[in-house]
Structure 1
Amino acid sequence: MKKTLVSALTTALVVGAASTTFAAANPFSDVPADHWAYDAVSQLAADGVIEGYGDTTFQGDKNITRYEMAQMVAKAMAKTDVSAADKAMIDKLAAEFADELNNLGVRVSNLEKHADMVKWNGELRYRYWNQQVKDDNTSDKTGTDKLLFRLKPTAEVNDHWDVHAQLDATTDVSTDESGNVSLARAWAQGNYKNFTVKLGKQDLFSTADQGLTFDDSFSGAQVIVGNQLKATLEAGRVDLGDDRAVASDEFNKVVDKASYQGIELNYAPAKLTLGAGYRHFSSADFKNVTGYDTDTTPTADDADIWSLGAGYNFDGNWALAGSFAKNAAADKFRTSHNVQLSYKGADKANKGTWGAYAAYRYLGQNVSFFPTYDTARSTNVKGWEVGADYAPFTNVYTAISYFNGKNIGDKANDDNVLFGRVSFFF
């Protein structure tokens, strides 16, 4: 980087650009008054951002090192009377030269998040399901291809608050039919020491049971308090309709909104994780759900779901996890449980990482409303599942899994699902 370019960049960072500042006396013999950068160089020297070479020369055509640039950035950072635009540019340079600044003793740990007030992340995801349901007389096989394009902007409000959103666009590859672009998430988040609050449409994930019951969204408020022992309080409204692949009217899923309140406790010391949760839902449409009342005129309009979970990471490679959940308000299909043994796991940021798992899942339809499992094309099933994932390139993730199970209920039909996924993150 040429020092003349550095001068031009740094000038823009110093409050009172050359056009609005008073030019100091000529500090360098090799920068005459008629030079195009004279005002900028003089002002920077007067502000103490640049010093020259001690022999009255500036040597503006000489290449500089990253450490020399970092020194100038550090001096610009020390200025307090700067505009918001100049401060943003200083933060960007500080993020670029963070390592050199840290070596110079200048702490920039918080600057990176200020460098860009709005950040965009996203994903292009392809998924394939092949489901075969059969009994003694019939066999029904269906295949589904889904393409998802997701954008996730984050905007900084101040030192504690951010605004988040998630935009989803889906395409059915098998029919080439595109769905609407939807605002899937939108929430404000406040981050404080051992305290986080979220307001808006956000994720609803049952951490206590590792996603056995819920991996979807709700609209409302969430408060998380604690460090190793965390308490999560949630209240709002949940759409329990057919807005995910796992929900199906064939199995009498709820098709309307429900008011929602929930609490979770999660404890994660070292290699052990423990969790317990309770979630209450209320909707008149529960009266139309199979398994809530044995009467000819069902009256139940609540779901009271209790869940427990535990996990242990043995050596950084092997992990064992189990969970159980029950809907105390339901008469049938009221319990779910899951046991999973995992080995390693793919990390999209690390090329070549991989993992595999084997699990047994029992998913009652009146308690596992939206389980996290990719093979759960329909709940009210039980069976074994095996899977593996792999990161062939940085920020590229692939996964494959197979579920071999049966329906829970009067007709124990076979229900087998093959699932595949490829995701590109940016």
Structure 2
Amino acid sequence: MKKTLVSALAAALVVGAAGTTFAAANPFSDVPRDHWAYDAVTQLANDGVVEGYGDGTFRGDRNITRYEMAQMVAKAMAKGDLSASDRALVDRLAAEFADELNNLGVRVSNLERNADMVKWNGKVEYTYTSDRTEVSRKPSGATKVNDNNLLFRLEPSAEVNSHWHVNARLDASMKVNKDAGEEDSDKVTLQRAWAEGDYGNFNVKLGKLELLSAEAYAKPGAIILDREFSGAEVNFGKDLRVKLQAGRLSKKDELTDPPNYQGAELMYNGRLTGGIGYYHLNSDNYRIFTGGKDNMSIWSVNAGYSFDKNNFLSAAYARNNSLAMDEKYKKSYQISYDYKGAKPEDRGSWGAYVSYRYLAGAALGATTDGAMELTKGVELGADYTLLPNVVLSAKYFRGKDLNPRVTDGKDKVSKLFGRVEFFF
């Protein structure tokens, strides 16, 4: 006779769950902390013996088949740290489900165990942007550029051993509103690919990595770098952490000679957050901006304070002393206030922020969903989880153009940004 999945957790003793107190977070929305099987379900989920559904539920009241129970037994058999009593129970369950285990054979005990080491995440994303300029010196008076883009992203992560994983990000992007001559704008890109070793308070990454300058922990993001680089990264420490990076920035359309890069950051994380960063880049492309030198050095400081779990105030300042320009063009900074934030798994959650941003000479690849590089002004943003794993976000920026080569400081700019994301 079939049993429900929760009832089958009488077999949860296969991992010693029955007599253990757990501090882990609730993994499933439909198994409350006061449920009689909560501890067993939590332990089994943490040990990889059972998995939930994509909407964050466990659905323990549905009927379980002997095939599904055999799979759980096979995973429990693969665990090597069972007590003698638990091992005896596993053996009894293996005898009960011998026929199913024999039919599944090596495929379950080995191949599916290895498959569990590979996890796939991703999303489908639609983005609308509208960049607008009110030009004071041209008869046209204004310009407007609208873009509609579709992105499909896959992010696999595979376990090598207890300390090492390999990870990747594969993006397939398409411009929906193509102009003539843009037929080749669709592309598939291996955006990131890296190996990561985690040894507690020491972490190392090798490959094509995310590059976010230190202040990007706060919305609306980085005022210096938000892109990728190929090289190595080392992190160590706990509350006070050091990050060291070295490599070469990924090539962008505007860079014929992508710069070599070295970065160092010191960050403290707590209710009061703060840090400093140093970034050095070398490329022939910089000669026109630095008076003939091929390198740039940027210093930054940032700080933030959490008033409670919902309210966060932050500020960041960066300076590029290598530029052969007026003082006002050498700096970038932002001041931001964040309230809450949308969580993809939590329907109805939402957040909002307001920020004043000044992105000038220290912004070599800043976060520009709202404010653009070489602009200053106010940016507003909000996000909302419409359905589990469906998130809506919107941003609005209004300010002035800072580009000394094309503006007299009176040109007004604005940007509308909208996005819907489907996570899986």
Q: TM-score, normalised by structure 2?
A: 0.71
Shift, 1:406, TM fit: 0.5
2:195 maps to 1:198: no
Shift, 1:329, TM fit: 1.0
1:9 counterpart residue number: 70
In the superposition, relative to structure 1, how do residues 2 and 337 fare at CA in structure 2: closer, same or farther (>3 Å)? same
Structure possessing the higher radius of gyration over alpha carbons: 1
> Which digits, 9 at most, give the CA deviation of each residue in 1:347-385, with x for residues without a partner?
111100111111100000x31111124123x41100111
2:307 counterpart residue number: 314
Shift, 1:388, TM fit: 1.1
1:371 counterpart residue number: 366
Aligned-residue sequence identity (percent) comes to: 40
Conserved in 2, the CA contact under 8 Å of 1:15 and 1:83?
A: no
> Which digits, 9 at most, give the CA deviation of each residue in 1:29-60, with x for residues without a partner?
xxxxxxxxxxxxxxx999842499xxxxx899
In the superposition, relative to structure 1, how do residues 240 and 302 fare at CA in structure 2: closer, same or farther (>3 Å)? farther
In the superposition, relative to structure 1, how do residues 312 and 46 fare at CA in structure 2: closer, same or farther (>3 Å)? closer
1:75 counterpart residue number: none
CA distance in 2, matches of 1:7, 1:344: 40
Count of residues in correspondence between the two structures: 332
The one-letter amino acid paired with 2:295 is D
Conserved in 2, the CA contact under 8 Å of 1:398 and 1:421?
A: yes
The one-letter amino acid paired with 2:364 is F
Conserved in 1, the CA contact under 8 Å of 2:66 and 2:97?
A: no
Shift, 1:88, TM fit: 6.2
2:287 maps to 1:287: yes
Conserved in 1, the CA contact under 8 Å of 2:384 and 2:393?
A: yes
Shift, 1:285, TM fit: 1.5
CA distance in 1, matches of 2:97, 2:246: 64
Shift, 1:331, TM fit: 2.5
2:260 maps to 1:259: yes
Among candidates 126, 146, 165, match of residue 168 of structure 2: 165
2:55 counterpart residue number: none
> Which digits, 9 at most, give the CA deviation of each residue in 1:94-142, with x for residues without a partner?
xxxxxxxxxxxxxxxxxxxx77121111011111111111222321111
Q: Report the secondary structure of 1:181's partner residue.
A: strand
CA distance in 1, matches of 2:348, 2:418: 18
1:422 counterpart residue number: 420
1:180 counterpart residue number: 187
In the superposition, relative to structure 1, how do residues 337 and 190 fare at CA in structure 2: closer, same or farther (>3 Å)? same
Among candidates 408, 411, 417, match of residue 411 of structure 1: 408
Conserved in 2, the CA contact under 8 Å of 1:389 and 1:400?
A: yes
Q: Report the secondary structure of 1:257's partner residue.
A: coil
Shift, 1:258, TM fit: 0.8
Conserved in 1, the CA contact under 8 Å of 2:71 and 2:108?
A: no
The one-letter amino acid paired with 1:347 is K
Alignment root-mean-square deviation, CA:
3.3
CA distance in 2, matches of 1:265, 1:150: 31
1:86 counterpart residue number: 109
The one-letter amino acid paired with 2:334 is N
1:96 counterpart residue number: none
Q: Report the secondary structure of 1:285's partner residue.
A: helix
CA distance in 2, matches of 1:170, 1:129: 15
Q: Report the secondary structure of 2:209's partner residue.
A: strand
After TM superposition, the structure 1 stretch with the greater mean CA deviation from structure 2, 194-203 or 338-347, is 338-347
CA distance in 2, matches of 1:273, 1:15: 42
In the superposition, relative to structure 1, how do residues 84 and 352 fare at CA in structure 2: closer, same or farther (>3 Å)? same
The one-letter amino acid paired with 1:308 is V
Write out aligned runs for 1:127-138 (5 A): 127-136=127-136, 137=138, 138=141
1:143 counterpart residue number: 146
After TM superposition, the structure 1 stretch with the greater mean CA deviation from structure 2, 323-332 or 148-157, is 323-332
CA distance in 1, matches of 2:297, 2:170: 31
After TM superposition, the structure 1 stretch with the greater mean CA deviation from structure 2, 133-142 or 414-423, is 133-142
Conserved in 1, the CA contact under 8 Å of 2:156 and 2:167?
A: yes
CA distance in 2, matches of 1:346, 1:321: 19
Shift, 1:342, TM fit: 1.4
> Which digits, 9 at most, give the CA deviation of each residue in 1:231-284, with x for residues without a partner?
000000013533xxxxxx5xxxx4421111110011012x11111100100011
Q: Report the secondary structure of 1:274's partner residue.
A: strand
Among candidates 331, 337, 361, match of residue 333 of structure 2: 337
